[in-house]
A and B are shown apart, each in its own frame.
Chain A
Amino acid sequence: MALLQISEPGKSTMPHEHRRVIGIDLGTTNSLVASVVSGSPAILNPNEKSNLLPSVIHYSKEGILVGNDAKNLLSKDPKNTISSVKRLIGKTISDINQDHFPLSLADGEGVININTSIGMKNPIEVSAEILKTLKSFAEDNLGGELMGAVVTVPAYFDDAQRQATKDACELAGLNVLRLINEPTAAAVAYGLDKKSMGHFVVFDLGGGTFDVSILNLSKGLFEVLATHGDANLGGDDFDQAIVNFLNNKYKLKVKDIEVQSLVSIIAREIKESLSTKKEVVIEEKISDIEIVETFTQEQFKTLVKDLIEQTLKATKNALNDAQLNYDQIDGIIMVGGSTRMPCIQEAVKNLFKQDLHNDLNPDEVVALGAATQANILAGNGEEDLLLLDVTPLSLGIETMGSIVERIIPRNTTLPVAMAQEFTTYKDGQTAMIIHVVQGERELVDDCRSLAKFTLKKIPPMVAGAAKIKVTFQVDTDGLLSVSAEETTTNAKASIEVKPSYGLSEDKIKTMLQSSFDLAEEDKNSRMLAETKIEAIQLIELTQKALDTDNDLLSESELNSIKNDLDALIDSIKSSNNDKIKEANKKLNTQSESFAAKRMDRSIQKALTGKSINKLEF
Chain B
Amino acid sequence: MIQNYFELFNLPEKFQLDLEMLQENYRAIQKKIHPDRFATSSENEKVQSMIKSTQINDAYQTLKSPIKRAKYILSLHKSVEKITLPPDFLMQQMEWEEHLEEIEKNNSELVQFKLTINKKYEEYSLLLSSQIDDDQNWSDAAITIDKLYFVEKLLHKINNVLN
Q: Which chain A residues have a beta carbon within 8 Å of chain B's beta carbons?
A: 19, 147-148, 177-178, 218, 220-221, 316, 320, 376-379, 384, 386-388, 412-418, 473, 475-476, 537-538, 541-542, 588, 591-592, 594-596, 598-600, 602-603, 605-607, 610, 612-617
Residue of B nearest to A180 (CB): B36
How far in angstroms is the closest Cβ of chain B from A608?
9
Instruction: List CB contacts (< 8 Å) of B30-53 with chain A.
Output: 30-37, 39-45, 47-53
Interface residue from B25, B36, B53 paired with A377 (Cβ < 8 Å):
B36
User: B15: nearest residue on chain A (CB-CB)?
Assistant: A617
> Which residues of chain B are within 8 angstroms of A19 by Cβ–Cβ distance?
40
> Chain A contacts of B24 at CB under 8 A?
610
Smallest CB separation, B54 vs chain A (Å)? 5
Q: 1/0 per position for B91-104, CB-CB distance to A under 8 A?
A: 00000000000000
Residues of B within 8 A of A218 (CB): 27
B61 within 8 A of A: yes
* A415 close to B21 (CB less than 8 A): no
Contact A388 B42 (CB under 8 A): no
Which stretch (B6-14, B77-85, B114-122, B138-146) binds chain A? B6-14
Q: Please list the residues of chain B having a beta carbon within 8 angstroms of any beta carbon in chain A.
A: 1, 8-12, 14, 16-18, 21, 24-25, 27-37, 39-45, 47-54, 56-58, 60-61, 129, 133, 159, 163
Contact B48–A595 (Cβ < 8 Å): yes
The contact of B33 among A538, A591, A602, by CB within 8 Å, is A602
For the complex, give the distance between the alpha carbons of A605 and B16 in Å.
Answer: 25
* Cross-chain contact of B21 among A320, A384, A614 (Cβ < 8 A): A614
Contact B31–A415 (Cβ < 8 Å): no
Among A19, A413, A600, A605, which residue has the most Cβ atoms of chain B within 10 A?
A413
Q: Which residue of B lies closest to A221 (CB)?
A: B27
Closest to A612 in B: B10
User: By the criterion CB–CB under 8 Å, are A377 and B39 in contact?
Assistant: yes
For this complex, 14 residue pairs linking A to B, each with C-beta atoms less than 8 Å apart, are A377-B40, A415-B50, A416-B57, A417-B58, A476-B53, A542-B42, A592-B48, A598-B45, A600-B52, A602-B33, A603-B29, A610-B25, A616-B12, A617-B14
Tell which of A148, A592, A606 has the most Cβ of chain B within 10 Å.
A606
Instruction: Knowing A603-B8, A614-B21, say if A592 contacts B50 (CB, 8 Å).
Output: no
Contact of A607 among B25, B50, B57 (CB under 8 A): B25
Asked whether, in the complex, the Cβ of B42 is within 8 Å of the Cβ of A415, the reply is: no
**Chain A residues positioned under 8 Å from B159 (CB to CB):** 320
Taking the closest CB of chain B, its distance from the CB of A424, in whole angstroms, is: 22
Chain A residues positioned under 8 Å from B32 (CB to CB): 602-603, 605-606
Given contacts A606-B32, A615-B21, contact A177 B163 (CB under 8 A): no
In the bound complex, CA of A165 to CA of B39 (Å): 19
Q: How far is the CB of A579 from chain B (nearest CB, A)?
A: 19
Compute how far the CA of A215 lies from the CA of B37 in the bound complex, rounded to whole angstroms: 20
Contact residue among A376, A416, A595 (Cβ-Cβ distance under 8 Å from B36): A376
Q: Is the CB of B28 within 8 A of A178?
A: no
Given contacts A541-B41, A541-B45, whether A473 and B31 have CB atoms under 8 Å apart is: no
Q: Is the CB of B35 within 8 A of A614?
A: no
Q: How far is the CA of A415 from the CA of B44 in the complex (A)?
A: 17
Contacts of B25 in A (CB 8 A): 606-607, 610
Interface of B (DSSP majority class): helix
Contact in complex: A599, B58 (CB < 8 Å): no
**How far, in angstroms, from A220 to B43 measured CA to CA in the complex?**
26
CA gap between A379 and B42 in the complex, in Å: 14
CB atoms of B34 and A386 under 8 A apart: yes
Taking CB atoms, residues of chain B closer than 8 Å to A603 are 8, 29, 32-33, 52, 56
Set of chain B residues within 8 Å of A538, measured between Cβ atoms = 42
* A537: contacting residue among B18, B29, B42, B51, CB under 8 A: B42
Q: In the complex the two chains form, is A592's CB within 8 Å of B44's CB?
A: yes
Residue of A nearest to B17 (CB): A615
Partner of A599, one of B14, B52, B60, B129: B52
A607 to B159, CA, bound (A): 38
In the complex, the 9 A-B pairs of residues with the closest C-beta atoms, listed nearest first:
A377-B39, A595-B44, A606-B32, A602-B32, A595-B48, A606-B28, A615-B18, A606-B29, A415-B54
> Quick check: B12 and A475 within 8 Å, CB to CB?
no
- Residues of B within 8 Å of A418, CB to CB, are 58
Complex formed: what's the CA distance from A320 to B9 in Å? 29
Residues of chain A with a CB closer than 8 A to B36's CB: 178, 376-377, 386-387, 476
- A591–B44 Cα gap in the complex (Å)? 7
**Contact residues in B for A594 (Cβ distance below 8 Å):** 44
Given contact pairs A598-B48, A614-B18, A615-B12, a sample of 14 additional A-B residue pairs in the complex whose CB atoms are under 8 Å apart? A147-B40, A221-B27, A320-B163, A379-B40, A388-B34, A415-B50, A537-B40, A595-B47, A596-B48, A602-B32, A605-B32, A606-B33, A615-B21, A617-B129
Structural contact, B35 and A378, CB atoms closer than 8 A: no
Which of B1, B31, B39 neighbours the largest number of chain A CB atoms within 10 Å of its CB? B39
Complex CA gap A461/B144 in Å reads 37
Measured between beta carbons, the chain A residues less than 8 angstroms from B16 are 615, 617
Whole-angstrom distance between the alpha carbons of A212 and B136 in the complex?
45
- The answer to whether residues A588 and B21 also contact, given A221-B31, A612-B10 and a CB cut-off of 8 A, is no
A12 CB → nearest B CB, Å: 14
A595 close to B12 (CB less than 8 A): no
Please pick, from B17, B31, B50, B57, the residue contacting A475 in the complex, using a CB distance under 8 A: B50
Give bound CA distance, A376 to B38, whole Å: 11
